[in-house]
Amino acid sequence: MVVQMGDEGKIHYADEPDVDLERRLGTRNALLALWNPNGQPVAVSWDDSSIVTADDPTRSRLAQVHSVIHSMLCGQHTDAMYRLATMTSLMASFTALRSLTLASELLWDVPLQTWQHVLTDAQSHVLITADDMTGTMVGINAIAEAIRQNLDGDDRRTILDCVARTASTLSPSARRGLGGFGAAVLVAALAITSSGSLGELKEEHAALLVAMARAGVITHRDERLIVDD
């Protein structure tokens, strides 16, 4: 899996509604605009729970994404899919982009067999609770197949291209599956690569969420994340 995002020098703006943003820029550049708002890259550090160069709207978007990841990390698949259902379809796709990029950074030097194990584990653990089960499964299967083709083929795409090409063909309900699978892949990658316990991973990720949503009040009780504006 190719990690680099590309197009770092292009300036896009993410301060308009997602539907308008995607219609004007196309799926790929709209996702890039969320990742790289106003041409300023946003870096998330797992080690020190900090965010670099993130304005309030960007932190809010990242907090939405990582709230889904946190629910998956805690085994709360119903909650994760509910969070995705409340997002715009572009944000659900962005959840996949952010999650798969972080997973790929963790799995950068692993054998292909390990990647295959992670993908299989993610597919088996995403519990579908959305209203449109069929649509959600379409999204899960579409991105899983796209990643496998990207790993096995000679024409390696960036994660941005892989996610954008898949998302551009999907309905809003299918994009929820796209985001849910991406989050599940990251959780599976963490389970393989982290030396910490599951409890430690949950606490570290909760701390990361606090940094992302400093404007709100976040509590982490009984493996559940509560976010109040």
Which residue has better confidence, 213 or 82? 82
pLDDT tens by residue, 124-163: 877 665 455 778 889 999 999 999 988 887 767 889 999 9
Q: Which residues in 146-159 are b (16+ Cβ under 10 Å) and which e? A: bbeebeeeeeebbb
155 in Cβ contact with 77 (< 8 Å): no
Least confident of 131-140, 197-206, 208-217: 208-217
User: What is the per-residue pLDDT for 3?
Assistant: 37
Helix (H, G, I), strand (E, B) or coil at 221: strand
User: What is the per-residue pLDDT for 147?
Assistant: 92
User: What is the per-residue pLDDT for 209?
Assistant: 72
Beta strands in the chain (DSSP E): 43-45, 50-52, 217-221, 224-228
pLDDT at 101 over 60: yes
**Percent of the chain residues past pLDDT 70, beyond the cut:** 72
Closest by CA to 179, choosing from 105, 72, 76, 104, is: 72
Mean pLDDT (whole number) for 209-216: 61
Beta strand pairing call for 224-228 and 217-221: antiparallel
pLDDT at 122 over 80: yes
Q: Which two tokens stand for residue 102?
A: 């972080």
Which residue has better confidence, 49 or 98? 98
Residue 198 pLDDT level (bands cut at 50, 70, 90): confident
Task: Say how far apart CA 24 and CA 3 lie, in whole Å.
Answer: 26
Task: Say how far apart CA 100 and CA 135 lie, in whole Å.
Answer: 20
pLDDT at 87 over 70: yes
User: What is the per-residue pLDDT for 91?
Assistant: 96
pLDDT tens by residue, 35-72: 877 666 665 544 443 444 467 777 788 888 989 999 99
Task: Say how far apart CA 109 and CA 51 lie, in whole Å.
Answer: 25
Task: Say how far apart CA 146 and CA 143 lie, in whole Å.
Answer: 5
